[in-house]
A and B are shown apart, each in its own frame.
Chain A
Amino acid sequence: MLDKNGIAKRIAQEVQNGFYVNLGIGIPTLVANYVREDIEVEFQSENGVLGMGPFPFEGEEDADLINAGKQTITALPGASFFDSSMSFSMIRGKHIHLTILGAMEVAENGDIANWKIPGKMVKGMGGAMDLVASADNIIVAMMHTNKRGESKILKKCSLPLTGVGCVTKVVTNLAVLEVRNNAFHLLERAPGVSVEEIQKATEGTLVVNGEIPEMYI
């Protein structure tokens, strides 16, 4: 079974040379730490920076330089700043190759819910609705089950949706799943996790074809 860093490490393998990538808040932010160093990648943060770098050294924090999670960051050589409208032109206009974000629920038809729990928690969608409505390549980073052990990989989302039919891949603490033809196709198992355990933790339709390899982390 993977922890949050393990999930981020596995997702980092999906990042290819020449990609512009938008990372969501939470586990997706960690992905930047594990991207291969021999490829050229630029991270976009929707509050207005392309070419985002690591956190600053102590004493070098700048209130005018933050990411979408409001954390202080740095800008790498070649970086650019822009306004919010232009930022979403990059996103809506499909100039960003890969979007990685967290979710509370994902459904077998590719629906995603991650912004609201009616009556309990309303933080807002931020840029997530724009991202999932436009990106062709959307990877969700999440835990397979909630704290009560109930599946978050569902036939149908129960929470208010963020987007419809948009998720292409899900990486959880248990598995890598591809979302197509109204089903979750099991691609890889997390280290030490059996197909049966994944089956048990998945409420949505799970397609298991042949021998399922263990992830290489």
Chain B
Amino acid sequence: MINKTVNNVQEALEGVQNAMTLMLGGFGLSGIPENAISELVKRKVTDLTCISNNAGVDDFGLGLLLQQKQIKKMISSYVGENDEFERQMLSGELEVELTPQGTLAEKCRAAQAGFPAFYTPAGYGTEVAEGKETREFDGKMYVLEPAFKADFAFVKAWKGDAAGNLVFKGTARNFNPNMCGAATITVAEVEELVPVGALDPNNIHIPGVFIQRIFQGENYEKRIEQRTIRQRS
């Protein structure tokens, strides 16, 4: 077993510098690497390019980095529900590259899997395809999309072990598995770091080979963005 454990979030973020490109898992506020984000805020690193499906809300998630103007560029598919984000984008302070959600996921997965690029039908005929190579296959048009290149990927899992094996929970899985191994260094934070051998190898979602550092996360808030309920009849 190759031990990937680091003691804390400070050790986990060793080497993060200004102007780096970071991948951050999560969909909305579900499954975001809360500990890594807090530490990025503390370290005050700036000029970051962040690849993440969303940009958090004003006072949580990546919104915390936006508040401190640490982000130079966001690569996302959906950025609603965040006033500060909208303000920075419309004023031109923040560069934004909107990417179709499936393309965003696949650009991560391509980096993980060693594909330099792939063709997708998403965005053909729209401004997303402007300046990109297009090609016809079987009478349908496709757009060539390159894999992402990133320095760090920060992912959050439900359970993990020292070998870096990960298990996700519910829809908190989302982009997290696709970002594992898609950057030079992948850092996994977990709600529960379990002893090696405790996870059933049949049920591991991401094998440890994709992970460089893993640590036991702390104080998860797991905020709910849209609390919707039904009445008991």
Contact = CB atoms under 8 A, between A and B. Distances in A.
Contacts of B53: 84
B116 interface: no
Contacts of A115: 98
Contacts of B96: 122
A162 interface: yes
A39 B126 CA distance: 37
A53 B197 CA distance: 34
Interface of B: 27-31, 53, 76-81, 86, 89-90, 96, 98, 100-106, 108-109, 120-128, 158, 168-178, 205, 222-232
Contacts of A123: 78-80
Interface string A69-102: 1111101000001111101100110000000000
B35 to A, nearest CB: 15
Interface residues of A, number: 53
Given A61-B228, A75-B170, A81-B170, 6 more contacts: A56-B228, A83-B178, A84-B104, A122-B86, A128-B100, A162-B126
Nearest to B110: A85
Given A71-B228, A125-B77, A85 B124 contact: no
A54 interface: yes
A115 B171 CA distance: 24
A127 B226 contact: no
B106 A88 contact: yes
B76 to A, nearest CB: 6
A88 B77 contact: no
A216 interface: no
B100 A125 contact: yes
A187 interface: no
Interface of A: 45-49, 54-58, 61-73, 75, 81-85, 87-88, 91-92, 111, 115, 119, 122-130, 133-134, 160-165
Nearest to B169: A64
Given A72-B227, A124-B76, A129-B128, A85 B30 contact: no
A119 B29 CA distance: 27
Given A83-B177, A162-B126, A55 B172 contact: no
A66 B225 contact: yes
Contacts of A68: 27
Nearest to B225: A70
A103 to B, nearest CB: 14
Which of A49, A91, A163 has the largest count of B CB atoms less than 10 A from its CB? A163
Contacts of B178: 83-85
Nearest to B220: A63
Contacts of B29: 63, 70
